[in-house]
Amino acid sequence: MVNNENDKLSSVLSSLTSKIPRTLVGLERQEFIGQFIDKQPEQIKLFLREVIERYVLKMHSLEASDLDYGGEGCMGRIWYRIYGEKKPETRTRSWSFDETDVLLQNILMKSQKQHLYDYRYVDFSFEATSNSTKLRCRATIYFDLNHLAMNMRLINNIVRPLKELNFHPQAQKALNLKHIKSGLVLVTGITGSGKSSTLDSIIDLNNRSMNAHIVIISDPVEYVHEPKMSVVRHREIGRDVRSFKDGTIQALRQDPDIIVIGEMRDPETIMTVVEVADSGHKVFSTLHTSSARESIDRILGETDPNEQERLRERLSDVLTCVISQKLVPSKDGKRVLAKEVLLATPPIRSAIRNNNTEEIYQMIYQSNHLGMITMEQDLARLYNEHKISYEEGYNQANNKKRYEELVQFS
């Protein structure tokens, strides 16, 4: 059966790629492929889509987080990231550039293809279904030396309860609408640090505990939350709303209690998010930063110098909590969550207001009893619990000297 499918796939792709003019290159070649695919019978397009779905299902069976495919960088192979390491799949067939271009464009809608041609990349969500298994991915397709490449990240279809993430009770209160009705909560970290999973756990906590209205604005929508006690809206950039800024402003007219902005990408969105939090709503968002202090400095640094004093005042008023996290390779060959948690106490607010952010790390370090913890303290905890090696903790520490001291005297 598998061989028959592979023979059919080879035959279909050979027939399609043979009709791509050899004289076309770059963008013109991709535009031709896109228009050519649109004209194919539905059964052919469905068959080709199922090829990608099968690799998503395999990604799940391998417990992989990511799949890479297409372009010069993959050497005709599919690559999976399994517990942090990216490796090629060598037991499947090798792909030509034209074959991967056809397969990748086939899973895009017309509007997504046009975005790809205009901006040389497109972000979108993708869903694969097999029997009772439904998997969602966050995907991006982009140009790689005139051909197309793709990364897909598997979205966990099970949300971990927040209590399993080892947050202090005071930190859990800061994340819950039941206890704090307004303010800005940031979940930060580098790409692949588990920000989305933590954010989903926070949303799930509120969805299960409050009669409320939650508006989620994402690019793309990843985990789809089933309404429990709350109404939950999902709005995807490019499909349901044009931008994070537009979605945030529109959300104010939709009677929300919680607004989730998938990412604060630019100064315009940052200012909009702070203004919305200042209006009395509870707002959650993410940033690509590796520490609580860096998150605050990044927000201030992204804005016009003439606006920074006003922004410091507003940020000091609205900020509730910053969670900065990393996924650290563990001794069992998997990964474990390490996090830094800042809670906006009066001294923290004063440091932000007076532009003394260099004081924030020490405030966090000395405030464990209030629910705060530095990245180094949490890494030392994981080391002492024999979950990670000393070297891995040292590599992941932002302040390596402080980590060494914590481990030495623990």
Domain ranges for the chain:
2-155, 162-373
Phi/psi-derived region of residue 123, left when phi > 0, alpha when psi is between -120 and 50, beta in every other case: beta
CA distance 78 to 55: 9
Query: Which of these CATH numbers, 3.30.450.90, 3.40.30.10, 3.30.420.40, 2.30.30.700, describes 2-155?
Result: 3.30.450.90
Q: Give how far Cα 248 sits from Cα of 256, 264, 373, Å.
A: 10, 11, 31
> Which pair of tokens denotes residue 399?
């302040």
The CATH fold of domain 162-373? Rossmann fold (3.40.50)
Degrees to nearest 5, angle at CA 278 with 273 and 283? 50
DSSP class of 74: G
pLDDT, tens digit only, all 410 positions of the chain: 456 777 889 999 999 999 999 999 999 999 999 999 999 999 999 999 999 999 999 999 999 999 999 999 999 999 999 988 899 998 878 899 999 999 999 999 999 999 999 999 999 889 998 777 789 899 999 999 999 999 999 988 789 999 999 999 999 999 999 999 999 999 999 988 989 999 999 999 999 999 999 999 998 888 899 999 999 999 998 889 988 889 999 999 999 999 999 989 888 889 889 999 999 999 999 999 999 999 999 999 988 888 889 999 999 999 999 999 999 999 998 899 999 999 999 999 999 999 999 999 999 999 999 999 999 999 999 999 999 999 999 999 999 999 999 998 76
CA distance 148 to 144: 6
CA distance 374 to 352: 18
CA distance 285 to 183: 11
CA dihedral in degrees (65, 70, 75, 76; nearest 10)?
100
Residues 140, 66 contacting (CB under 8 angstroms): no
CA distance 248 to 240: 12
Helices (H), 147-291: 169-175, 195-209, 244-251, 267-278
User: At 292, phi and psi to the nearest 5?
Assistant: -65, -45
The pTM assigned to this predicted structure is 0.80
